[in-house]
Structure 1
Amino acid sequence: MPALYEELRRAHGPVAPVTVAPGIDAWLVLGHHELLRLTREEQDFSHDPRRWSLLREGRVPADSPILPMVGWRPALLFADGQQHRRMRAAVSDALARINGHELRRSVRATAERLIASFGRRREADLVPHYARRLPMQVITGLLGVDERTGQQLVQAIAGMAAANADSANASKRMGAILLSLIEEKRRRPGNDITSALCAHPAALTDEEVLHNLVVMFTAGNQTTVNWIATTLRILLCDPAFRSSLTGGHLSVDDALDLVLWRFPPTQNFPARYATRDLEFGGQAVRAGDMLILGLAAANQDPRILPADGSPVVGNRSHLAFGAGPHTCPAQDPARLITRTAVDTIRHRLPDMELAVDESELAWIKSPWSKGLAALPVRFTEPQLPPSPSDASASSLSVSSAASPSV
């Protein structure tokens, strides 16, 4: 994909024509400055897919694999103006009530349990055994979902995002799971994000709670999986970076930011829709055209990278979390989860090394996300604490007030 982005940039400039599904044409925004304008100027670029000309004209098949990702939902991701601010307030307030100290303890305890589960084998694939399991257990705990239901939810959302023939059915399964959860939390509220959304003064309907949970889980789970796995890959494959980290010259946060610049967990993000005809990035964009946020390409825009090609360290002007009014509201807890997951495993498995050549690592093929398919490692005896904490993701709760540590 990076080679494709540069080819498109050379041929078309910062905004390029692309096909995102059979018969579905769109614009891919590759330029850093252009992407900032796209995300900040709601008067020209709307989030509401009901403005999409292809959809209005009936030219998007009902079974199109892209529809579950871009079809309108009553959620903050698909709203502008006051409606967006109303729903974002509910989501942001629910997230702000997460107790950061409790979240860090729970992530560490979950990480240590996972490491203990495969530690005796002296080898593991860190994608399915660690990076994929940890966020799911933590995030479902925050939402107030038990682990079994959480696994079903992960499978349904993964199927929806896969953009294949089963995506529509996966979307229905996901909706049924979440609606049952909301009904339960209306009857018996708990200390969790779902209950906080249900009780918020914004008075979200069940449908609004459901679809905002979809946005939160979809945006939070797989991206955190990718962020953890890719950061671990850099620490395993870049001896100089690992040495600088061990020696205290760089921090885990520096490694996290390096990933967000070079390999953002979300490569491309749908979508904005032009509200009028306009010239944008050298292209004649028409009212109702779809524009895709090329997050990975914009981060590699040669107009904003250091001229000497040096790594970007200590700089968070990347676009991995988006920009403008719709900047990801969960980036602080996501960073805390990822930082704790990476820091825990590198201390518990200090001699961990890649079990295959780096060239053999495979990436999941997706137009939207950037994630490893596998990360096999080997190691010796894990250095686990003598009495692992009994804390678990299911014990996570949100506080009655915002926690300053998130």
Structure 2
Amino acid sequence: MRFAMYTPEFAADPYRFYAHMREQFGPVVPVYLDPDVPATLVIGYHTAVRILHDPVRFPADPRVWQQSVPAHCPVLPMLEWRPNALRNSGPAHDRYRAANTAALGNVRRHALHSTVQQIAIPLINEICEDGHADLLAQYAHPLTFQALNAVLGCPPEIGQRVATGMAAVFEGVNAEAGNAMLAEALTELVDLRRSHPGMDITTGLLMHPARLNESELTHQLVTLYGAGIEPQQNLIANTLRLILSDDRYSGDVMRGSISVRDALDELLFVDPPLANYCVSYPPNPVEIDDVILPAHQPVVISMAACNNDPTVVSEQRAGNRSHLTWSAGPHACPAQPLAYLVAQVAIEQVLDALPEMELAVPADQLTYRPGPFHRALTGLPVHFPPSPHLTLT
């Protein structure tokens, strides 16, 4: 038996499925990412940590695996080899990661804080007089999109095609066409920043001593957009859902006794926006927890299930960052501080502007988009007393 992770039923209540998986299989579970893509899902925290710190037995290179996968497979764009840090091991990984880490490190956090504020206020002004909004479509998504474009030096018209292509890749709907649109748009961005360099991440990648070629530059940007749009907007929206639906937060965050950072920490533990990923491809059959995993088949870490593993669950979530949401080991996300900053400022801005905001439907009636990897709301409807426009400072 294999659990299907691509169904609407799984998206609606993944934690019920994780519980059934744990009962039947323990920490290592046979799953389908797509009807034609068998994989192993790791739902045990300690097992996942061992795998994430063992790039020799569990390397990130999928090239042998993908030879047997049809080109039209909807999850292939999320899993296929690319010349980037995410899909390589050893010296190639080190080279790509060094370039990314250096380029991300050039982002000035104080300036990013101001940028997010400057983006948030017009978005809030577009909804504040209406008394109702979809915070995902009208706030979290456009804010994430604009903030990422700003730090990457990407004009809106190119960024819009990137966002459309990336959404298709994540959802597995027209993924092949989305992948092509993504590549074309990012090639234009590289060409633009080469001819007009700036103080941005794309220029930083172009100027790095690793001397990335055209294809490598494009694929570093695929990774940055992949991590910077979909998971980031879900982090903002899902944390707002938590704050607005949980009595522990709804009053205390507004009064300041619990911080938005505390809510983010809890959300990253209990319901991470990228729920299942950190994929590796063992080059040989490998034993883990008395289970033999086949060679050249995806091994997927369930950050959502691992974070909620009964053997490690703690009531203390505020300030506790032992979760696996950012991965661990050589592939741990290098953009954590920037992602925290964008989400925190975005959430604080809208809560400060609309302090009486409430969910428009009960939290258990919110729906989620299907897909084996993300934890993504279809919308976040809210209502609030109409408020006057904010003033940009």
Q: Which TM bucket (shorter chain)?
A: over 0.9
In the alignment, the residues of structure 1 paired with residue 175 and residue 35 of structure 2 have an alpha-carbon distance, to the nearest angstrom, of 15
1:3-402 equivalences under 5 Å are 3-52=16-65, 55-56=66-67, 59-164=68-173, 166-306=174-314, 310=315, 312-382=317-387, 385=390, 387-389=391-393
| C-alpha displacement of 1:234 | 1.2
Q: Provide the C-alpha distance between the structure 1 equivalents of 2:355 and 2:298, rounded to a whole number of angstroms.
A: 47
Q: Do the aligned partners of 1:15 and 1:282 also contact (CA within 8 Å) in 2?
A: no
The structural deviation recorded for 1:22 is 2.2
Contact kept in structure 1, 2:75 and 2:169, CA below 8 Å: no
**How far 1:383 sits from its partner (Å)?**
6.2
Deviation at residue 47 of structure 1 after TM alignment: 0.4
Task: State whether residues 30 and 39 of structure 2, in contact with CA within 8 Å, keep that contact through their aligned partners in structure 1.
Answer: yes
Partners of 1:177 and 1:230 in 2: how far apart?
29
Q: Which runs of 5+ in 2 are unaligned?
A: 1-13
* Helix, strand or coil at the partner of 2:281: strand
Q: What is the CA–CA distance in structure 2 between the aligned matches of 1:372 and 1:237, rounded to whole Å?
A: 14
CA deviations 1:227-264 (Å, max 9, x no partner) are 11111111111122222323443211110011101110
1:289, CA displacement in angstroms? Answer: 2.6
SS in structure 2 at match of 1:46: coil
What secondary structure sits across from 2:317 in the alignment?
A: coil
Q: Distance in 1 between matches of 2:55 and 2:364?
A: 42
Provide, for residues 128-164 of structure 1, a one-character-per-residue CA deviation record: whole Å limited to 9, x for no partner. Answer: 0001110000101111111222122101111122213
Alignment check: 8 A CA contact 2:171 2:370 kept: no
Q: Is the 8 A contact 2:128 2:389 kept in 1?
A: no
TM-score using structure 2 length: 0.93
What's the offset of the Cα at 1:81? 1.4
Report % sequence identity. 35
The residue identity in structure 1 corresponding to 2:336 is Q
Deviation at 1:312, TM superposition (A): 2.5
Q: For 1:88, give the aligned amino acid.
A: R
Amino acid in structure 2 at the alignment position of 1:28:
L
Q: 1:270 to 1:316 in 2, by over 3 A?
A: closer
Judge conservation of contact 1:13–1:282 (CA < 8 Å) in 2.
no
Q: Is the Cα–Cα contact under 8 Å of residues 349 and 383 in structure 1 kept in the other structure?
A: no
Instruction: State the Cα distance separating 1:366 from its structure 2 match.
Output: 1.7
Q: Secondary structure at the match of 1:314?
A: coil
Q: Distance in 1 between matches of 2:388 and 2:319?
A: 30
The alpha-carbon deviation at position 218 of structure 1 amounts to 0.5
Amino acid at match of 2:382: V
> What CA distance in whole angstroms lies between the structure 2 residues aligned with 1:32 and 1:374?
30
- CA shift digits 1:353-379 (9 cap, x unpaired): 112222321122221100211111111
Kindly provide the amino acid, as one letter, of the partner of residue 236 in structure 1.
L
Q: Which amino acid aligns with 1:235?
A: I
Whether the 8 Å CA contact 2:254–2:351 is kept in 1: the answer is: no
